[in-house]
Amino acid sequence: MTGIGHLSSAFLVKSKFKDVPLWILLISAEVVELVWIVLNLNPFGFSPPLEFMKVELPFLYIGNMKLLSQQYSHSLGGGIIIGIIFFLLLKSLKVSTATRYIAIALAATGHWILDLLVHDHDLKILPLSSAPIIGPIVSLDPANPELGISAAAPLLGFAIQAALSAIGTYIFLKNFEFPAPNGKRNFVIGIIVLNLFSLPIFVKGMMTFVIRSEAWMAGLVFADMLFAAIVILYLSKSVVATESSR
């Protein structure tokens, strides 16, 4: 699942925890991905690296990215620990309170749950190298049962992401108003465009000349989530909670 799929989950949490700034929830929804990027780029020179992936070349589509080790960032327990650390960081900077921890935890943990829907056999419950690997939740390729939906049926994986993004957007729009003229329309258009921007990685051949290595993949993932988060924050900068939801 790409950036917009995970970031859209912040809309659901924001609709229940209206006092939590949206930027905090957007980071919470992708904080484990940020840890994943850092560990895969391995700027600290760990040998062997704490986490690593393999990008098959020529890169055709999302199924050519194999997450060989990601127990710290993409295990359920690892996500919870990362969420706690992120909350403590915000609290130390005096931009968060204890009552916001539940919102941060839901957004951070939701990342793992969303990945479980579409990932290959590469997720864990506990952040241990010896912990059993789980997934995929549904196997659509009898010849390769370890493949998740995004790898076995990439367009279906995109459709699931787009549907989840649409649900999150719909609930967000029910709970918040856009005082600016055409604010709601522009927000919806922005979400649609962001989802379309994520489509090429699900279509075989469209990213072949973009992804050249594992580092390029990590950089693309970071650029994708950063761009989507900036667009979402810009389009939602004036929203206010509706009277019925306060």
Structure tokens that stand for 177 in this block: 């108003």
pLDDT category of residue 123 using cuts at 50, 70 and 90? very high
Would you say the pTM of this structure is higher than 0.85?
Answer: yes
**Helix (H/G/I), strand (E/B), else coil: 21:** coil
Task: Give 27-75 pLDDT, tens digit per residue.
Answer: 999 999 999 999 999 999 999 999 999 999 999 999 999 999 999 999 9
For residue 68, which of 57, 46, 53, 48 has the smallest C-alpha distance? Answer: 53
pLDDT tens-digit series, residues 126-149: 999 899 999 999 999 999 999 999
Q: What is the pLDDT of residue 94?
A: 83
Q: pLDDT of 147-163, one tens digit each?
A: 999 999 999 999 999 99
With a cut of 90, say whether residue 97 has pLDDT above it: no
| Distance of alpha carbon 163 from the chain centroid | 14
